[in-house]
């Protein structure tokens, strides 16, 4: 695994938060059409913070490792802050990536953003059904 940092290699070998979530508050997916790699992220949200997170990744070591690192980074974070995290922030947290693997750090932030949009959409629908209130 030449070119990968120790932290990335460790997360690839022992990825955290792998799995699916039956009762998620939001689910997001993103794929890279150029390489075919794919990530799904499930979140639970309490008081607008990510309380639980799970992921599945069909992808390369960099995609799996960065998604594992990202899930650890955002657990406990406010959804607004988590939605703003960029692939550059993740790449830095992963100790950098070889040039040809830099696109692999796009997947987790994209899937999480999609999961947060899904969560907000569900909250808006719930609020509309119950006659309004805070979203
Ligand atoms: Fe495409 Fe890693 S090779 S995400």
Ligand 1 pocket, Cβ-based, cut-off 6 angstroms: 32, 35, 37, 59-60, 62-63, 101, 103-104, 107
pLDDT top residue among 19 and 129: 19
Q: The domain that contains 98 carries what CATH number?
A: 3.90.1010.10
How far is residue 67's CA from residue 85's CA, in Å, rounded to a whole number?
A: 13
Distance CA 108, CA 32 (A): 11
**Tokens matching residue 21:** 């979530």
Q: What is the distance in A from the centroid of ligand 1 to the CA of 111?
A: 14
60 Cα nearest atom in ligand 1? 2
Q: Is the residue at 1 inside a domain?
A: no
Span 89-106, pLDDT tens digits: 999 999 999 999 999 999
Residue 28, in any domain of the structure: yes
Q: What is the DSSP track for 85-103?
A: --HHHHHHHTT---GGGGG
pLDDT tens-digit map of 34-81: 999 999 999 999 999 999 999 999 999 999 999 999 999 999 999 999
Number of domains in the chain: 1
Helix and strand tally (H, E) in the chain? Answer: 5, 3
User: What range does the domain containing 102 cover?
Assistant: 6-130
């Amino acid at each position: 695994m030449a070119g990968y940092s120790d932290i990335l290699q460790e997360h690839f070998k022992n990825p955290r938060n792998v799995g699916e979530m039956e009762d998620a508050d939001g689910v997001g997916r993103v794929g890279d059409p150029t390489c075919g790699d794919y990530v799904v992220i499930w979140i639970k949200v309490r008081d607008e913070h990510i309380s639980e997170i799970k992921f599945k990744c069909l992808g390369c070591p960099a995609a799996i490792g960065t998604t594992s690192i990202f899930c650890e980074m955002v657990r406990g974070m406010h959804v607004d802050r988590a939605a703003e995290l960029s692939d550059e922030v993740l790449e830095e947290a992963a100790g950098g990536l070889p040039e040809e693997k830099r696109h692999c750090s796009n997947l987790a932030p994209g899937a999480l953003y999609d999961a947060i949009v899904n969560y907000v959409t569900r909250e808006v629908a719930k609020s509309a059904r119950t006659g309004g209130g805070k979203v």
